[in-house]
Amino acid sequence: MAKDLKHFLDSVKKELPDDYVEVTRPVNPDNYDVTAILEHLTQKNQFPMVVFKNPSNLQGKEAGIPIVSNVFARRERCALALDWPVDQPNLPLSLEYARLERENVAPVEIKKGEAPVKEIILQGKEADPSILPGVRHYEMDLSPVFTMTLVMKDPDTGIYDITFAKAFYKGSQRLGISIHTPHLERIKNKYEERNQPAPVVIILGHHPAFFLGSLALSPYDSDDYATVGSFLREPLRLVESETWGKDFLVPADAEILIEGVIPPGEIEIVDPFGEVTRHYQAQCIRQAMDVTAITRRKDAIMQDIFSGHEGHWNLGAIPKEGSIYNAVNKRYGNVKAVHMPHSGIGRLACYISINKKKEGDGKLAGMAALLESWTIQVVVVVDDNIDVFNEKEVVWAMLAMVDPKRDVTMVDNVYTMFTTAMGHNKIIIDATKPLDRAFPKLLNVPESAMRRIKLDEWINQ
């Protein structure tokens, strides 16, 4: 049986039962009911996956389609999604991600009658996204926003590119979509240069491995459907779309698909939207999308990202940590661990621990990390006795080891994707212990004492 979202929900109930929460009371996602519940949980330091069983749709009526959110909010669930042991959610998970990223599994095409996403097909005036339970996330958001992925197809090479992108409901069968990544921009521009409408499909739910795989840092000319197959650990099943038939294949086991076209030259106003950075993305001009079809499972569940929170940050960190580890290790062979913490939204900050042999090793590792990931603004390099997944230890190292005149390096005028006060500048902080001068030693209880003393022989717990 092909992997799908329900398969994953069942595995969470079984393997991580405390991670599964259902809300059965009716919710109005357009009135912040969904995000208020998630925010309350976050403030209690709880990050379960939440299924909202009875949301209303954008028309204010019962949607008949549940919403699931916070899927990626714990690394353990991301591990489960990739069939990786949940007790190894830190660097081993990221290294496994980096390994899967280098592999491809060719997709397979199935017949329309076999595709769950074709159980309900809406075309013409029926294909109106207002039948869906769109979530309005934050107070200054322009509208409810669909927050999952788009897929587009290169008109020349035929490769498919899947990327997370926002879709704002603009009324009737119109959306404003925010294409902001190089690969999708490239495809969109090809159609615009030819003055042709660009086919685009929004994928509102699938097995989480599908979405994790879509974040792989693959070259432009690689087919994302094949990359995603690697993460699913099975061929992705595809089926012909309603609008273009076999000329544009879509994921057969998705929950909900919105097919449409980007008319050349037409724009929509989109944003503000509470973004990954925890700031609102300012209102701007982006592409319009005219909806041509909506297809879905009979028992579809719509997926949503609680933007600017833990799940959104894990989607940044996990795909990058492994490739940064490999890139730095390939050059210098001295990396112990890499982590992109939530404090840096899983993108802006990178902590690297190394086995330092000589002065300058820290800065070299930092430079290699900056080259590998264009989202990083601050790299902190520490010794291998510091756990980079423990922020308290990293901050201690910064306070105890760093001479700002020597160990803090700014690299200016380097493009970065995110608008923060740092602008297009990056910082490397070498927080490793200096080797070229006398320096204090870290305190320690002797190993022999630690081995000799068994806690339960001394304290009743």
Residues at the site binding another protein, with contacts judged by CB under 8 A: 140-143, 267, 269, 271-272, 280, 282-285, 419-423
Shortest spacing between CB 102 and another protein, in angstroms: 34
Task: Please identify, using beta-carbon distances, which residue of 149 and 287 lies nearer to another protein.
Answer: 287
Task: Please identify, using beta-carbon distances, which residue of 421 and 459 lies nearer to another protein.
Answer: 421
* Degrees, nearest 5: CA angle 157-259-269: 100
Residue found by looking up tokens 């000329």 in the block: 247
Task: Please identify, using beta-carbon distances, which residue of 4 and 30 lies nearer to another protein.
Answer: 30
Task: Please identify, using beta-carbon distances, which residue of 181 and 329 lies nearer to another protein.
Answer: 181
Q: What's the Cα-to-Cα distance from 350 to each of 110, 210, 341, rounded to whole Å? A: 42, 25, 7
Task: Please identify, using beta-carbon distances, which residue of 271 and 321 lies nearer to another protein.
Answer: 271
Shortest spacing between CB 141 and another protein, in angstroms: 6
Tokens of 53: 């069983």
Tokens of 418: 């995110």
Task: Please identify, using beta-carbon distances, which residue of 141 and 242 lies nearer to another protein.
Answer: 141
Shortest spacing between CB 433 and another protein, in angstroms: 34
Q: What's the Cα-to-Cα distance from 239 to each of 206, 246, 420, rounded to whole Å? A: 14, 8, 41
Burial of 86 (0-12, 13-18, 19+ CB in 10 A): middle
Task: Please identify, using beta-carbon distances, which residue of 24 and 283 lies nearer to another protein.
Answer: 283
Task: Please identify, using beta-carbon distances, which residue of 170 and 363 lies nearer to another protein.
Answer: 170
Q: What's the Cα-to-Cα distance from 394 to each of 165, 352, 400, 409, 424, rounded to whole Å? A: 33, 9, 10, 18, 24
Question: 268 - beta bridge partners?
Answer: 286
Task: Please identify, using beta-carbon distances, which residue of 120 and 284 lies nearer to another protein.
Answer: 284
Shortest spacing between CB 251 and another protein, in angstroms: 32
Tokens of 341: 């913490």
Shortest spacing between CB 422 and another protein, in angstroms: 7
Helix, strand or coil, per DSSP, at residue 342: helix
Residue found by looking up tokens 């009911």 in the block: 33
* Phi, psi (rounded to 5 degrees) for 146: -85, 125
C-alpha 332: how far from its chain's center? 28
Shortest spacing between CB 420 and another protein, in angstroms: 6
Distance, in Å, from the CA atom of 378 to the CA atom of 428, rounded to the nearest integer, reads 6
C-alpha 1: how far from its chain's center? 26
The answer to whether the bond into 404 is cis (omega within 30° of 0) is: no
* CA torsion, ordered 253, 224, 246, 200, to nearest 10 deg: 90
Shortest spacing between CB 414 and another protein, in angstroms: 14
Shortest spacing between CB 307 and another protein, in angstroms: 15
Shortest spacing between CB 272 and another protein, in angstroms: 6
Task: Please identify, using beta-carbon distances, which residue of 271 and 430 lies nearer to another protein.
Answer: 271
Shortest spacing between CB 322 and another protein, in angstroms: 29
Distance, in Å, from the CA atom of 194 to the CA atom of 283, rounded to the nearest integer, reads 28
Helix, strand or coil, per DSSP, at residue 327: helix
